[in-house]
Amino acid sequence: MENIYIPHLLQLPQKTQTITLDDFIVELVTLTPLRGTVIIRHGGTFLEIIIKGEAIVNLICDRCLQQYNYRITLDVSENILLGKNLSANQKFTKEKK
């Protein structure tokens, strides 16, 4: 995955960059590559990051030791505050769309 330079997000349409995922993750053993999207939006004082994806893993039942495939889905959203002098107690409001 490539690095994202935060000031470049300000020059993109809607201050948003979308990255398509279709690759294996070294630390996660899966039968299929992780497929999905990462959406990064610059909200002025914060970054909004949304990750949606899925992959299939092979699991083993602890009781019967039978193997089966299981689909893992991701639907994660995170806001990251930007700035040098932000305190942990400082509240912010989400930018209106």
Please list the pLDDT of the chain residue by residue as tens digits (97 residues): 678 888 888 888 899 999 999 999 888 889 999 999 999 999 888 999 999 999 999 999 999 999 999 999 999 999 999 877 655 555 555 555 5
Q: Categorise residue 9: left if φ over 0, alpha if ψ from -120 to 50, beta otherwise.
A: alpha
| Type of residue at 74 | L
User: What is the predicted pLDDT for the residue at 2?
Assistant: 74
This prediction has a pTM of: 0.74
Count of Cβ atoms closer than 10 Å to residue 75 Cβ: 10
For the chain, the domains span 6-81
CA–CA distance, 55 with 27 (Å, rounded to integer): 13
* Distances from the Cα of 85 to the Cα of 6, 31, 57, 80, angstroms: 18, 44, 42, 14
